[in-house]
C-alpha cells in the first residue's frame, strides 16, 4: 500500500504560543547580548538557523556555533517558562485532523518546521502533540525552508519507502514559505490562514488548497 505523508508546520498551523516564543527570544537576546530592541525581525515561515543568524548580526557577535548555542540555550529555558504561563493554544481542528489521519492505515504523520529540534520538542510536548508524529524535519541547519523539504524527502525515502515521491507528500503550513517549500519537491501544499497570512497571499504563493483553519479539512 502506497504511503501518504502529511508534514505539518508547527507555529501558526498546529498551535500558537501566544507570544511565548517571541518573549523567550527577546529575553534571551537581552540576557546574553544586552540587546534591548528587536523590532522588524520576521519570524514567520523562517528557520531558526536563519533567525538566529540575523539576531547574532544585530548583536554584532560572530554567527558561529558558540554564539548560536549560547543564545539557543537561554531561548529554550525561557521558552519552557513562558509556555508554563499558559498563554498559547492548539489551533482549531488540529486534534480532529490528526485523529482522522491517524486512522488512515497508509498515513505517515510528521512535522516539517522552521523550529530547531529542541524548540520544536518543547512546544509539541507542552501541548501534548509530540506523540502524534513519527517523522520530524527541523530548522537547525538550513537557512532556507525549501532545503527542509529536500531533507524531508531523503528521510522519507529511508524510513517509509525508497520510491517515495513529492506527489505522495502533503505539506501543511501557514506562510508562503511553507507553500514554496512544498512546491520545491512537487508536494501538495495545504495552507491555513491561522498564522496571520491572508488567503490571497497563500493562493498567490501557489497553495493547492487554502483553509481558514483545520476544521475545514476536507472529508
Contact status: 11 vs Mg ion (CB under 5 A):
yes
Q: Of 196, 188, 159, 171, give the one whose Cα is nearest residue 113.
A: 171
Contact status, residue 111 vs residue 133, Cβ threshold 8 Å: yes
Residues 189-218 that bind Mg ion (CB under 5 A): 195
Contact status: 48 vs Mg ion (CB under 5 A):
no
| Piece in contact with Mg ion (CB under 5 A), picked from 4-12, 101-109, 125-133, 136-144 | 4-12
For residue 15 the three cell numbers come to 498551535
Q: Which residue of 48, 82, 140, 174 would you call a contact of Mg ion, by CB under 5 A?
A: 174
Query: By rule CB under 5 A, what count of residues binds Mg ion?
Result: 5
Instruction: Give the pairing of strands 89-90 and 15-16.
Output: antiparallel
- CA angle 90/135/41 to nearest 5° reads 55
Enumerate the β-bridge partners of residue 16. Answer: 89
Q: Which residue of 6, 7, 9, 46 would you call a contact of Mg ion, by CB under 5 A?
A: 9
Smallest distance from the beta carbon of 191 to Mg ion, in angstroms?
10
Summarize as ranges the residues that interact with Mg ion (CB under 5 A): 9, 11-12, 174, 195
Amino acid at each position: 500500500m502506497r504511503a501518504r505523508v502529511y508534514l505539518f508546520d508547527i507555529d501558526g498551523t498546529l498551535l500558537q504560543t501566544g507570544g511565548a516564543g517571541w518573549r523567550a527570544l527577546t529575553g534571551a537576546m537581552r540576557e546574553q547580548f544586552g540587546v534591548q530592541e528587536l523590532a522588524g525581525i520576521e519570524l514567520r515561515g523562517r528557520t531558526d538557523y536563519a533567525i538566529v543568524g540575523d539576531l547574532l548580526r544585530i548583536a554584532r557577535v560572530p554567527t558561529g556555533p558558540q554564539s548560536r548555542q549560547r543564545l539557543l540555550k537561554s531561548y529554550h529555558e525561557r521558552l519552557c517558562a513562558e509556555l508554563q504561563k499558559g498563554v498559547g493554544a492548539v489551533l482549531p481542528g488540529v486534534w480532529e485532523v490528526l485523529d482522522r489521519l491517524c486512522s488512515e492505515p497508509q498515513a505517515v504523520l510528521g512535522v516539517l518546521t522552521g523550529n530547531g529540534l529542541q524548540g520544536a520538542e518543547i512546544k509539541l510536548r507542552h501541548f501534548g502533540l509530540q506523540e502524534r508524529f513519527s517523522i520530524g524535519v527541523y530548522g537547525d541547519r538550513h537557512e532556507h525552508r525549501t532545503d527542509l523539504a529536500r531533507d524531508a524527502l531523503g528521510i522519507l525515502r529511508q524510513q517509509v519507502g525508497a520510491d517515495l515521491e513529492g506527489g505522495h507528500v502533503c505539506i501543511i503550513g501557514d506562510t508562503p514559505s511553507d507553500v514554496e517549500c512544498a512546491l520545491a519537491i512537487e508536494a501538495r501544499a495545504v495552507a491555513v490562514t491561522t498564522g496571520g497570512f491572508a488567503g490571497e497571499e497563500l493562493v498567490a504563493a501557489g497553495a493547492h488548497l487554502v483553509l481558514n483553519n483545520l476544521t475545514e479539512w476536507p472529508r
